[in-house]
């Protein structure tokens, strides 16, 4: 198992630990805070309820997490070392030197620094090419962006190796080609934060009004198209040139405080903290994290359906996860005398409901995916359907036997009860591990898609059905098959 070492397990180190662990890495943590294990445990609990529910593919089995009082023990043998200690250059130099004294020469040392340049972090190091900035965004276990900032001391092959590791754990490494204070994204965040502080200090808006100005408008727009694509559209048919001609002159008007930072007096801090308490004090930080995570998962899954922005990254990671696992049966399994594996997937967060478990309509969704896979296995594949033959479902009966929650890995196994002529009768059983969760029974009729009438299947499907009959014909009739809801 590949090992990631987390040096500093606060807000950001805890998020990195969760991302590596849930993507199958063993994680070793070094943090002198006696509360570190509890704090990481709470971050991990939030990650476990949201990250596996982001994907349609199951994540690999979780790695093992261990806590170490000795840094050398945490670092030796690790392929990736992530430094996430407080933002203080002196402290980071000290920690990086301690890491490099004991780590493997081939390990990547990523720093979470929000503002320091890699060449600043590398000062005084004997092996500067091993240290690179990998700046994440909170929550690290959900947001894909990592600003990967090398200095001239980092070789191209090393940077690509680091990028590949980041991709493998579902991240989007944005290669920042020239090192600069605060990289790319934090420059925006600082500018927006500065303006917001002025607006509160000058009594123009409260913290809540500022948040509303972001989340009800341009914040949603930015989440899917960023800045320049949004403004291109805003230029209308004339596009970006027109937009710049129209709004460029405004930049000269006194709209912004530009780089002035309001003085951080006790009065300003109390004003902001007081308004923030009024706005959000009804929730604990962990509750706010869970609300944030639910919203982020829902937004990214919506973008995934559009194959756009962060959703396209998620789609790519799902494809990678699926390729890495033996998900469903192959045609060779048609001859085995046992139900066929037709679906293996995760339960996404948006498949769950107000009762805190997988909602009823999604059982049909999963069973429909199994039926589609079964059709494919017997030869009713995309080409066959395009040529005009397919199956229509005529009747379905679902039994809910046990609960299942977001992030769980579920499998569906399918037994063919009848497969002759036009008729196809399937019995799906859904499991989490050995636990039976539900059964779904479907009766289908083969149809001609041109006439929309039932008809005999073509030779390719008849052959598939014959194979399946030979394999499943002698299996016992499953418990619960052929049942209906009886009159009381
Ligand atoms: N909080 C944020 O929104 C973001 C922070 N960052 C960066 O991540 C880094 C860490 O920030 P946070 O997690 O927010 O800080 P934090 O204060 O939550 O966590 C820092 C952790 O480092 C530990 N620590 C202190 N001295 C240590 C030592 N000698 N060895 C090992 N661990 C030690 C502390 O006990 C604490 O758990 C900073 O460089 C920051 O700029 C990056 C992205 C976002
Ligand atoms: C405020 N901050 C500079 C620590 C923010 C970041 O570095 C990134 C983030 O997650 O917003």
What is the rounded CA–CA span in Å between residue 422 and residue 446? Answer: 5
Question: DSSP character for 478?
Answer: P
What is the rounded CA–CA span in Å between residue 469 and residue 478? Answer: 15
Q: Determine if ligand 1 sits within 6 Å of the CB of residue 14.
A: no
- Supply the pLDDT for residue 434: 96
Q: Is 216 strand, coil or helix? A: helix
Is-contact 407 49, C-beta < 8 A?
yes
- The percent of the chain in helix, strand and coil, each rounded to the nearest 5, is 45, 20, 35
Question: DSSP character for 350?
Answer: G
What is the rounded CA–CA span in Å between residue 100 and residue 128? Answer: 10
**Cβ partners under 8 Å of residue 301, min gap 6:** 54, 311, 314, 348, 349, 350
Q: Determine if ligand 1 sits within 6 Å of the CB of residue 95.
A: yes
Burial of 375 (0-12, 13-18, 19+ CB in 10 A): buried
**Cβ partners under 8 Å of residue 41, min gap 6:** none
Tens of pLDDT along the chain (488 residues)?
A: 799 999 999 999 999 999 999 999 999 999 999 999 999 999 999 998 889 889 888 888 899 999 999 999 999 999 999 999 999 999 999 999 999 999 999 999 999 999 999 999 999 999 999 999 999 999 999 999 999 999 999 999 999 999 999 999 999 999 999 999 999 999 889 989 999 999 999 999 999 999 999 999 999 999 999 999 998 888 888 888 888 888 777 777 666 556 678 888 999 999 999 999 999 999 999 899 999 999 999 999 999 999 999 999 999 998 888 776 655 667 777 888 999 999 988 888 889 999 999 999 999 999 999 999 999 999 999 999 999 999 999 999 999 999 999 888 899 999 999 999 999 999 999 999 999 999 999 999 999 999 999 999 999 999 999 999 999 999 999 999 998 888 87
* Count of Cβ atoms closer than 10 Å to residue 150 Cβ: 24
Q: Determine if ligand 1 sits within 6 Å of the CB of residue 88.
A: no
* Count of Cβ atoms closer than 10 Å to residue 295 Cβ: 11
- Supply the pLDDT for residue 170: 95
Cα-based torsion angle of the residue sequence 299, 302, 306, 312 in order, rounded to the nearest 10 degrees? 50
What is the rounded CA–CA span in Å between residue 168 and residue 191? Answer: 32
What is the rounded CA–CA span in Å between residue 346 and residue 170? Answer: 16
- Supply the pLDDT for residue 409: 87
Among 10, 87, 114, the mutation site with the greatest number of ligand 2 atoms within 8 A of its Cβ is 114
Phi, psi of 147 (to 5 degrees): -80, 115
Cis geometry, peptide bond prior to residue 139 (ω within 30 degrees of 0):
yes
Q: Determine if ligand 2 sits within 6 Å of the CB of residue 138.
A: yes
What is the rounded CA–CA span in Å between residue 180 and residue 163? Answer: 19
Q: Determine if ligand 1 sits within 6 Å of the CB of residue 138.
A: yes
Q: Determine if ligand 2 sits within 6 Å of the CB of residue 265.
A: no
**Whole-structure pTM value:** 0.85
Among 12, 183, 189, 219, the mutation site with the greatest number of ligand 2 atoms within 8 A of its Cβ is 189
Is-contact 29 74, C-beta < 8 A?
yes
- Supply the pLDDT for residue 246: 82
- Supply the pLDDT for residue 455: 98
- Supply the pLDDT for residue 222: 95
- Supply the pLDDT for residue 256: 58
- Using CA atoms, how far residue 476 sits from 24, 170, 339, 373, in Å, is 38, 43, 11, 22
**Cβ partners under 8 Å of residue 162, min gap 6:** 108, 110, 132, 134, 148, 173
Measure 76 CA to ligand 1 centroid, in angstroms. 21
- Supply the pLDDT for residue 255: 60
Burial of 453 (0-12, 13-18, 19+ CB in 10 A): exposed
What is the rounded CA–CA span in Å between residue 468 and residue 340? Answer: 10
- Supply the pLDDT for residue 179: 95
Among 88, 171, 186, the mutation site with the greatest number of ligand 2 atoms within 8 A of its Cβ is 186
What is the rounded CA–CA span in Å between residue 284 and residue 291? Answer: 11
Cα Rg of the chain (Å, integer): 28
What is the rounded CA–CA span in Å between residue 375 and residue 77? Answer: 48
What is the rounded CA–CA span in Å between residue 133 and residue 464? Answer: 55
Domains in the chain with CATH codes: 3-175 (3.40.50.720), 185-282 (1.10.1040.10), 326-472 (3.10.129.10)
Q: Determine if ligand 2 sits within 6 Å of the CB of residue 111.
A: no
Residue nearest ligand 2's atom 9 by CA: 137
Least Cα distance to 144 among 171, 121, 117 occurs for: 171
Phi, psi of 60 (to 5 degrees): -65, 165
Q: Find the ligand nearest to 11 CA.
A: 1
- E strands of 76-161, at which residues? 80-83, 108-111, 131-135, 145-149
Cis geometry, peptide bond prior to residue 479 (ω within 30 degrees of 0):
no
**ipTM over 0.90 threshold:** yes
């Amino acid at each position: 198992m590949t090992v990631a070492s987390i040096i500093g397990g606060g807000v950001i180190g805890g998020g990195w630990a969760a991302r590596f662990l849930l993507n199958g890495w063993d994680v070793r943590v070094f943090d002198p805070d006696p509360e570190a294990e509890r704090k990481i445990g709470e971050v991990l609990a939030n990650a476990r309820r949201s990250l596996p529910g982001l994907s349609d593919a199951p994540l690999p089995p979780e790695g093992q997490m261990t806590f170490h009082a000795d840094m050398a023990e945490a670092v030796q043998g690790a392929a990736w070392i992530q430094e996430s200690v407080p933002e203080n250059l002196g402290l980071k130099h000290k920690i990086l030197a301690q890491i490099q004294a004991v780590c493997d020469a081939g390990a990547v040392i990523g720093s979470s620094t929000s503002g320091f340049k890699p060449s600043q972090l590398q000062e005084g190091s004997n092996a500067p090419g091993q240290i690179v900035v990998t700046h994440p965004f909170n929550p690290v276990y959900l947001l894909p962006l990592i600003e990967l900032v090398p200095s001239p001391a980092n070789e191209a092959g090393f940077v690509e190796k680091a990028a590949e590791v980041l991709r493998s754990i579902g991240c989007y490494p944005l290669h920042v080609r020239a090192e600069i204070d605060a990289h790319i994204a934090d420059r925006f965040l600082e500018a927006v934060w500065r303006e917001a502080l002025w607006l509160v200090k000058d009594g123009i808006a409260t913290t809540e009004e500022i948040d509303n100005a972001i989340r009800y408008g341009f914040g949603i727009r930015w989440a899917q198209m960023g800045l320049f694509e949004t403004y291109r559209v805003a230029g209308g048919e004339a596009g970006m040139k027109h937009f710049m001609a129209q709004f460029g002159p405004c930049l000269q008007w006194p709209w912004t405080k530009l780089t002035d930072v309001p003085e951080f007096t006790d009065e300003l801090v109390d004003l902001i903290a007081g308004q923030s308490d009024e706005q959000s004090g009804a929730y604990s930080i962990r509750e706010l994290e869970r609300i944030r995570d639910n919203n982020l998962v829902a937004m990214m899954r919506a973008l995934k359906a559009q194959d756009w922005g962060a959703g396209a990254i998620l789609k790519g990671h799902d494809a990678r996860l699926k390729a890495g696992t033996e998900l469903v049966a192959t045609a060779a399994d048609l001859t085995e005398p046992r139900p066929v594996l037709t679906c293996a997937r995760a339960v996404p967060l948006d498949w769950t409901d107000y009762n805190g478990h997988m909602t009823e309509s999604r059982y049909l969704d999963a069973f429909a995916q199994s039926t589609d896979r079964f059709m494919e296995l017997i030869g009713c594949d995309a080409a066959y359907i395009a040529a005009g033959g397919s199956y229509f479902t005529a009747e379905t009966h679902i039994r809910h036997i046990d609960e299942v929650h977001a992030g769980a890995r579920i499998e569906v196994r399918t037994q063919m009860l009848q497969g002759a002529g036009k008729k196809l009768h399937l019995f799906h059983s859904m499991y989490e591990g050995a636990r039976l969760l539900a059964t779904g029974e479907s009766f289908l009729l083969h149809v001609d898609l041109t006439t929309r009438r039932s008809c005999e299947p073509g030779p390719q499907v008849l052959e598939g059905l014959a194979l399946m009959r030979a394999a499943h014909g002698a299996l016992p009739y499953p418990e619960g098959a052929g049942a209906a809801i009886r009159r009381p």
